[in-house]
Amino acid sequence: MPASNTWIVGGISSPRLAWGPTFNGQRKRCPHCQILLLTGERPGFCCGPNGSRLNDVHPLPPLPPEYEIFMNHPQISSHSRILNLIFSFASLETTQTFPTLPPGTSFLAIQGKVYHRVRPSHQNSAVRWLLHDGFQPEDAPHSHLAAQIPVEWKSAFTNALTRLNPFVHALKNLSVVANDYPEAHLILQDSGSSAEIAAIMCYENTTQSQIRSRRLVVHKNTGSNQNIPTVSRLWEPLAYPLFFPQGTFGWGIPSIYDNLAGENQYGDAPTTQMWYYRALLLREDRFNIFGRLTNEYLVDMFTRDLDNRLSYIRNNQLRIRQEEAELMGEEEVTASENVYLPSSFLGSRRWASEQIADSLAIASKLGNPTFFVTVTCNPEWEEIKSQLRPGQTFADRPLVVVRTFKRKLTLLLNALKSMFINAGRPIYCIHSVEFQKRGLPHAHILIKFRDDCVTPDDIDSVVSAEIPSNASDAALVRKFMMHNHPSISAEPSKYCQRVEADGSRACRFKYPHSLQPTTTIDDEGRIHYRRRKSGDEMVVPHNLPLLRKFQCHINFEVANTSHIFQYLFKYIHKGQIYPSPQNFVLNSPYRTRQNPFSCPGSKQ
């Protein structure tokens, strides 16, 4: 049967973007916070509608002039985590071991409950280093890592902290009086009235009744360890002195100790955690300079936000369960020691079940999706490379990556809805975004049109699994659309290969595929794409016009013949916490809830 006119591909608009495009001689910026906007970004995502959240987060003090010796060095981004680690007063720790990542691009991965701890007697503690050794270079913590940092960098950072950081001043004073007052210790207090760390020196033992919550006590001789609560404003200046050399408070709930009733009262945080981090990451250039440390900061602050949300759920579990029971017509719930994550908690089992149920309800009413598309961010996009500082890779600028991918994904969705000029508008489009282990975002898209793409000729007019004859097109396919396996002498791929009993390796995606002159559909509804030449066996199915425009991996498959209907919908909602899927339904009365959460750069 000859191909129908339904699946003729029309023109696709260019997806090229620009940072701060120029109009009438002026670059496009947010009129309120002045950050550069990417093509298509609207003012307000950065600082609220009409700048309503602009003043929620005050600018940080400028970086000290001592930083100039390393701030523009090509290696500062890659060495920033080590430089910060040497001088960090509160170590990042977890209840589980840090996972071992394969060699290659450096990313931070943590697991278990995350916390920070001040350890004045630990060998690798900057508090011990200052108290006992006065920042002497030969006694620096993490000596095997500190050796990688130039001496002049460490000296400049030491001078900046000694001149500006109030915690350093207090520790130096404590080290001086320790001999005359062995019981002396330092109390760090978040009084709520100051924008920086306040330190109180005590020369006598402090009774338990005098120790109030949200205080950190640094002991000289006892060696006890103090944990920093996740809502403390001391968390960030103690853990990230490279970002906060003046000891400026981070996000937290300020505490007030002068209540007339003699009880602690806590002031409200100036804004939510997510808006606070968004403002810092978008407005402060230091998070662009110290790229690898920014990655650690993002992971740390994300887990901090999760911990606070989980604590709220744990402490309010009975009330939450009672509210859910009332919605389901139950008058009361039985007591339980288990903690259940509600469907409002993104990434929970109940949340995922709702997403899958909503998607399946749409598809059962309106039919199987026509195409299944997976798109992956290309770190070599010019929009990303143009924002990199000397010595940086895409991994050093996560906000640039997610903002670029978000805009490219929007343009891809628009292209999918309009590229088939005779197919009309799609009936529904469902997509979700997740992050690969190597850090790049990618999206899964299910889209349904009025007509099905079921005949071999129609499928061939949309999807190709062959290397094109045109040299430039062939180069694109070889770069982005080839499935690669390790050589037989190398370790098998954990991603797609399993070793059989006879020692052979089987790919779960069935690569290499058999050559065949035409596209066929077997009795189970599986599509076997046309592959006519040697070399086509490892080609991933794709749509060539989209590949030319977007210059990235875009796996394009026909889905309306598939027998794995439910699997597709469960697959696109699998195992993710953020960002959540967004479901869009066009030309139908069915709507699903949008994700209310949006992190810096809108990583949705």
pLDDT at position 257 = 38
pLDDT computed for residue 457 by the predictor = 92
DSSP label at 531? Answer: B
Quick check: 172 pLDDT over 90? no
Chain segment 556-574, per-residue pLDDT in tens: 999 887 656 666 666 666 6
pLDDT (tens digit per residue) in 98-126: 666 555 555 566 777 777 788 777 888 88
Three-state SS annotation for 42-111: CCCCCCCHHHCCHHHCCCCCCCCHHHHHHHCCCCHHHHHHHHHHHHCCCEEEECCCCCCCCCCCCCCCCC
Contacts of 12 (CB under 8 A, 6+ apart): 415, 419, 545, 546, 549
Q: How far apart are CA 456 and CA 466, in angstroms?
A: 15
**Burial class for 504, CB neighbours closer than 10 Å (0-12, 13-18, 19+):** exposed
Give the angle 316-320-322 at the CA atoms, nearest 5°: 120
| Top-ranked range on mean pLDDT: pick from 89-98, 257-266, 405-414, 446-455 | 405-414
Q: How far is CA 263 from the centre of its chain?
A: 39
In this predicted structure, which of 459-468, 479-488, 492-501, 595-604 has the lowest mean pLDDT? 595-604
Confidence of residue 278 (pLDDT cuts 50, 70, 90): very high
Q: Is 185 helix (H, G, I), strand (E, B) or coil?
A: strand
Mean pLDDT within 333-357? 79
In terms of average pLDDT, the best of 51-60, 104-113, 549-558 is: 549-558
The pLDDT score that the predictor gives to residue 577 is 40
Stretch among 67-81, 477-491, 497-511 having the lowest mean pLDDT: 497-511
Q: What is the pLDDT of residue 374?
A: 93
Among all chains, which residue has been given the structure tokens 């806590």? Answer: 266
Q: Which residues contact 16 (CB under 8 A, 6 or more apart)?
A: 39, 382, 383
Q: What is the DSSP string of 555-596?
A: EEEE-TT-S-HHHHHHHHTSS--SSPPEEEE-SSS---PPP-
- Taking the C-alpha atoms of residue 98 and residue 497, their distance in angstroms, rounded to an integer, is 26
The least confident of 90-99, 331-340, 520-529 is: 331-340
pTM of the model: 0.84
Separation of alpha carbons 89 and 85, rounded Å: 9
Of the candidates 370, 427, 373, 366, the one whose C-alpha atom is nearest the C-alpha of residue 571 is 373
Task: Examine the pLDDT at 599 and tell me if it is beyond 50.
Answer: no
pLDDT of residue 204: 44
Q: Which residue did the predictor score with more confidence, 550 or 584?
A: 550
C-beta of residue 578 within 8 angstroms of C-beta of residue 354? no
Percent pLDDT > 90 in the chain is: 37
Instruction: Judge contact between 411 and 4, C-beta under 8 A.
Output: no
What's the one-letter identity of residue 242? L
Name the amino acid, one letter, at 211: I
Average pLDDT for residues 475-493, to the nearest whole number? 85
Tell me the pLDDT band of 254, cut-offs 50, 70 and 90: confident
What is the pLDDT, as a whole number, of residue 478? 95
Residue 312 has a pLDDT of: 83
C-beta atoms surrounding 530 within 10 Å: 18
pLDDT at 581 over 90: no
On the CB side of 79, how many CA atoms lie within 13 Å of its CA?
Answer: 19
Six token digits for residue 193: 């009235």
Mean pLDDT, rounded, for 289-308: 89
d(CA 440, CA 409): 13
Per-residue confidence (pLDDT) for residue 154, from 0 to 100: 93
Closest CA to 551 of 373, 437, 408, 387: 408
Alpha helices (H) in 115-226, listed in sequence order: 126-133, 143-146, 151-164, 166-177
Kindly report, residue by residue over 184-198, the tens digit of the pLDDT: 777 776 655 555 554
Which tokens hold the place of 89? 């007063």
pLDDT at 214: 34
Whose CA is closest to 233, among 276, 204, 262, 203?
A: 276
Give the contacts of 26 (CB within 8 A, at least 6 positions apart): none
Q: What is the pLDDT of residue 595?
A: 29
pLDDT of residue 557: 92
Structural contact between residues 561 and 527, judged by C-beta atoms closer than 8 angstroms: yes
Residue 431: phi, psi to the nearest 5?
Answer: -145, 155
Dist CA 555 CA 481 (whole Å): 8
511: amino acid identity, one letter = Y
Q: Which residues touch 149 (CB under 8 Å, ≥6 apart)? A: 79, 82, 83, 86
- Average pLDDT taken over every residue of the chain: 80
Query: Which pair of tokens denotes residue 164?
Result: 């500006």
Q: Comparing 155-164, 318-327, 409-418, which segment has the lowest mean pLDDT?
A: 318-327
By the 10 Å C-beta count (0-12 exposed, 13-18 middle, 19+ buried), 89 is classed as buried
Distance (Å, rounded) from C-alpha 544 to C-alpha 196?
56
pLDDT at 255: 62
DSSP states of 257-321: ---TTSS-EEPPPSS-HHHHHHHHHHH-THHHHSHHHHHHHHHHHHHHHHHHHHHHHHHTHHHHH
